[in-house]
């Protein structure tokens, strides 16, 4: 039996819209995007150690431990805290359900959860803002998971202000393809000149994703997935893919379409939520779940 206090959730996210407005000389891109969490999470079990060892007990296929965001986050946190914490370590296990390289933010979410959890378990007590700054060094999406609420983001990952989009139900389609974010952002045909608009104007416009055209063009299976989804509901790509999603006003509507999904791609239904389950419960821990 694992004590509840050692189980931490790392939720998936959707980009409800994503626009690219320019490219910096260093290769990063100016974005305008709206993040919302999903009630669909990886589970991490984190047991502190006092010998300085940081161990991932459940390695992910194809991801060396030294490249895994979980290990990188734990080691980076320890580098940023006083030397008196050098003895701090952890045994970490993960039940992974968020697809890798699918645009759902699983790696970034895992890293954020590790930072939040170890900050508490090691009794480091860094401020929220300091954790966010550490998160930026791991990836542009990590801070959104540390902040723990839906956000409108602008620039190269700058969080502008909290957002409160409707908490709809989504059918998320996973074509089983891993897409490199850098490949999409470096594609010569990618539109990087969407007009900069105010948040209020973006909310009133139809939601779209500037990466979708390229992804559909380069990956035939994703084109077929989106064509199938669009027969039932408004649908679009999240992030740089590979997952796409359809939005529904009720769980029953989403489940009806889920029951029609053909066998050539996977799918699941989840509710969009504006507060991360990482922070949704007392004492910054999640409620008990089967592991």
The string of pLDDT tens digits covering residues 122-135 is 999 999 999 999 99
Class of domain 1-291: alpha beta
Do the beta carbons of residue 277 and residue 147 sit within 8 Å? Answer: no
pTM exceeds 0.85: yes
> What are the CA-CA distances from residue 288 to residues 7, 91, 222 (Å)?
7, 19, 36
Distance (Å, whole) CA 87 – CA 282 = 28
Q: Which residues of 199-213 are buried (b: 16+ CB within 10 A; e: fewer)?
A: eeebeeeebebbbbe
Q: 273: Cβ–Cβ under 8 A, 6 or more apart, which residues?
A: 11, 36, 37, 38, 39, 167
**Amino acid 291: pLDDT:** 28
Give the model's pLDDT for residue 3: 41
Q: In this model, does residue 231 exceed pLDDT 90? A: yes
Please state, rounded to an integer, the average pLDDT across all residues of the chain.
Answer: 92
Domain ranges of the chain: 1-291
**pLDDT interval class at 4 (50, 70, 90):** low
Indicate the SS3 state at residue 278.
Answer: coil
- pLDDT at position 25, please? 86
pLDDT tens for 126-167 read 999 999 999 999 998 999 999 999 999 998 777 789 999 999
Is 50 exceeded by the pLDDT of residue 208? Answer: yes
With a CB cutoff of 8 Å and minimum separation 6, the contacts of 31 are 18, 19, 20, 21, 153, 154, 155, 156, 157
Which of 37, 42, 39 shows the shortest CA–CA distance to 114?
42
Res 250: pLDDT:
98
Per-residue HEC secondary structure of 124-178 comes to CCCCHHHHHHHHHHHCCCHHHHHHCECEEEEECCEEEEECCCCCCEEEEEECCCC
Could you give the residue numbers annotated as active site?
13, 141
Residue 19 is predicted with a pLDDT of 97
């Amino acid at each position: 039996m694992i004590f509840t206090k050692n189980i931490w959730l790392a939720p998936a996210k959707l980009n409800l819209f994503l626009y690219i407005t320019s490219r910096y000389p260093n290769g990063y891109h100016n974005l305008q995007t709206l993040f919302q969490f999903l009630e669909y999470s990886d589970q991490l079990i984190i047991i502190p150690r006092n010998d300085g060892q940081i161990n991932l007990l459940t390695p992910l296929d194809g991801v060396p431990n030294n490249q895994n965001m979980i290990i990188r986050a734990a080691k980076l946190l320890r580098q940023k805290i006083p030397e008196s914490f050098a003895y701090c370590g952890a045994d970490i296990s993960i039940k992974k359900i968020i697809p890798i390289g699918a645009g759902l933010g699983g790696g970034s979410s895992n890293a954020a959860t590790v930072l939040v959890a170890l900050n508490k378990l090691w009794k480091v007590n860094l401020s929220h803002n300091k954790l966010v700054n550490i998160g930026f060094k791991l990836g542009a999406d990590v801070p959104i998971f540390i902040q723990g609420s839906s956000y409108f983001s602008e620039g190269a990952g700058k969080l502008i202000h909290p957002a409160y989009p409707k908490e709809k139900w989504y059918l998320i389609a996973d074509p089983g393809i891993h897409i490199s974010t850098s490949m999409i952002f470096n594609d010569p045909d990618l539109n990087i000149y969407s007009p900069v608009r105010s948040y209020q104007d973006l909310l009133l416009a139809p939601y779209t994703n500037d990466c979708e055209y390229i992804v559909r063009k380069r990956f035939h299976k994703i084109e077929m997935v989106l064509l199938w989804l669009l027969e039932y509901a408004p649908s679009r790509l999240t992030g740089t893919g590979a997952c796409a999603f359809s939005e529904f006003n009720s769980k029953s509507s989403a489940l009806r379409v889920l029951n029609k999904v053909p066998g050539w791609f996977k799918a699941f239904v989840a509710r969009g939520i504006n507060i991360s389950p990482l922070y949704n419960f007392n004492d910054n821990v999640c409620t008990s779940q089967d592991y």
